[in-house]
Amino acid sequence: MTKQPIIQVRDLSVGYGDVTVLDQVSFDIYEGEIFVILGGSGCGKSTLMKAIIGLIPPISGHIILDGDEVSAQDEAKLQKILRKVGVLYQGGALFGSMTIAENVALPIEEYTSLPLESVLTLVRMKLGLVNLQGYEHHFPSELSGGMKKRAGLARAMALNPKILFFDEPSAGLDPITSAELDELILHLNKSLGTTMVIVTHELESIFTVARRIIMLDKASKGIIAEGDPAYLRDHSQNPFVRRFFTRRASDRGLNKKGTG
């Protein structure tokens, strides 16, 4: 059975003020897949993610999230649609004055009317999923960088979203902790079937978790590659794409005299 797109982006243009960052971008994300958005600095990776989750209104085009048009809704309807979505931001975005349990409980208490005991049970379950059992009463300042990311992930999963977004999940992590987070992402995707959309430029993570990617390009303001990252690394006809995946400087850069 062919999987259906859970996110459809059609002819999307997005930007800030008079500056267009992405122009006429189209792609699909399928239910249950791990999909990676990548590209060089300033290419619009985070801007695209923000547009998909309704934080930035598009200049033109359409974003359909699980059957609903994101950009054509009033605030109340948009909030209802976005309950299907969880987001892990770069720093975890935890509230420093609240315990880890209180951070995870926040969206549950805001969007449901569950009794306290049920909320606490859900919090323990979510923390268990990210291997933070026993840390309910710790504050963010008492956790390592990797633990903060996992706590942020537990909060992103609080309302059982169908789609999880990750904004540079490996940023600020050492290689071992980053690899552990990649393994957790793979495990959660396999066990829960959650669709995952990851914005990153970390090659190790890309080759570990991604089955399909799109690469954005700052100059063309669009997609210059789509598909399996290993295949693109070995077979892409675009020199920039091959250099990106092999971490090679351009020939012009290599031929410059001196190092400055």
**3, part of any domain:** no
Task: For residue 130, give both structure tokens.
Answer: 């990210």
Which CATH number covers residue 201?
A: 3.40.50.300
pLDDT tens by residue, 126-173: 999 999 999 999 999 999 999 999 999 999 999 999 999 999 998 889
Average pLDDT over residues 219-234: 95
Please report which confidence band the pLDDT of residue 75 belongs to, taking 50, 70 and 90 as the band edges: confident
pLDDT number for residue 249 = 58
pLDDT tens by residue, 44-58: 999 999 999 988 999
Q: What are phi and psi of 5, to 5 degrees?
A: -65, 135
> In angstroms, rounded to a whole number, what is the distance separating the alpha carbons of residues 29 and 12?
14
**92, part of any domain:** yes
The sheet with strand 222-227 has its strands ordered as 85-88, 163-167, 195-199, 34-39, 212-217, 222-227
Please report which confidence band the pLDDT of residue 81 belongs to, taking 50, 70 and 90 as the band edges: confident
Average pLDDT over residues 71-84: 81
> In angstroms, rounded to a whole number, what is the distance separating the alpha carbons of residues 178 and 129?
17
**222, part of any domain:** yes
Q: Which residues pair with 258 in a beta bridge?
A: none
DSSP SS3 for 246: helix
CB atoms within 10 A of CB 250: 11
Residue-number span of the structural domain to which 95 is assigned: 33-54+82-248
**43, part of any domain:** yes
pTM value is: 0.90
**241, part of any domain:** yes
Average pLDDT over residues 113-126: 95
**178, part of any domain:** yes
**150, part of any domain:** yes
Give me the count of residues in the chain.
Answer: 260
Helices (H), the chain: 45-52, 75-82, 100-111, 116-129, 145-156, 175-192, 203-209, 229-235, 239-246, 251-254
What is the total count of domains within the chain? 1
**103, part of any domain:** yes
